[in-house]
Amino acid sequence: AQSVTQLDSHVSVSEGTPVLLRCNYSSSYSPSLFWYVQHPNKGLQLLLKYTSAATLVKGINGFEAEFKKSETSFHLTKPSAHMSDAAEYFCVVSDHRGSTLGRLYFGRGTQLTVWP
Amino acid sequence: DTEVTQTPKHLVMGMTNKKSLKCEQHMGHRAMYWYKQKAKKPPELMFVYSYEKLSINESVPSRFSPECPNSSLLNLHLHALQPEDSALYLCASSSNRDSGYTFGSGTRLTVV
């Protein structure tokens, strides 16, 4: 069975400081993992994805995530937060990797607040 | 075109009304999805269409009726909704699981 645990419901940082959003997963298969961002009243935008290639994944807007199988983690980081990064972030695992059909399993989300 | 387009962006409907939500993509994706998202919650899967056939129905009440007229279009027909059905309805598409999903910006539905 697949599941995702986002360890923090809220994270607050000052502009220019590092961001760390934590995610642990459980999967019966070799997982595909994603981070999505959602700004208020908007849809979800894909930040980055892991699909069994390099374990350090680079995404858009300076975000990165590292897949650690031994820790079943996929934490999202950014060296320097910007005000525009304030949003809800979802860690997501998919089943049936390589298949079109299936479903995504969402974490509960982490609300990122960036202070000036 | 790398977008999923949803219309309308906002919809207010009474409990006796019939309305439809529309979703369109021109990326050649053969899987399309409807999700429901309540405030401060992650999206919840409602329906999955694969190659224009309904593949997954997550025990959604029959007042929600999906339709996939062709590979680019996905509709969600609404009838006799309840106030608790008020939510953001998101459409998504994918080519395969590894590529991730592309989400639309959603329809904010309010049932009065």
Q: What is the pLDDT of residues B33-79, one digit of tens each?
A: 999 999 989 999 999 998 999 988 889 999 999 999 999 999 999 99
Residues contacting residue A66 through CB under 8 Å, at least 6 positions apart:
A55, A56, A57, A73, A74, A75, A77
What average pLDDT does the structure give for chain B?
93
Q: Which helix (H) or strand (E) holds B13?
A: strand B10-13
Give the 3-state secondary structure of residue A71.
Answer: coil
User: Which of B59, B60, B98, B109 is best to mutate for the A interface (most A CBs within 10 A)?
Assistant: B98
Contacts of A54 in chain B (CB under 8 A): none
- In this complex, do A49 and B43 lie within 8 Å of one another by their Cβ atoms? no
Range in A93-97, A109-113, B41-45, B80-84 the model is least confident about: A93-97
Phi, psi angles (nearest 5°) of residue B65: -130, 110
- In this complex, do A94 and B50 lie within 8 Å of one another by their Cβ atoms? no
The beta-carbon neighbor of A100 closest among B30, B100, B108 is: B30
What does the pLDDT look like over A82-99, one tens digit per residue? Answer: 999 999 999 998 875 555
B49 CB-side CA count, 13 A = 25
Give the 3-state secondary structure of residue A85.
Answer: helix
Phi, psi angles (nearest 5°) of residue B29: -70, 135
Contacts of A51 in chain B (CB under 8 A): 98
pLDDT for res A79: 98
What does the pLDDT look like over A59-73, one tens digit per residue? Answer: 999 999 999 989 999
What is the pairing mode between strands B73-79 and B64-70?
antiparallel
More confident residue, B99 or A32: A32
Contacts of B99 in chain A (CB under 8 A): 49
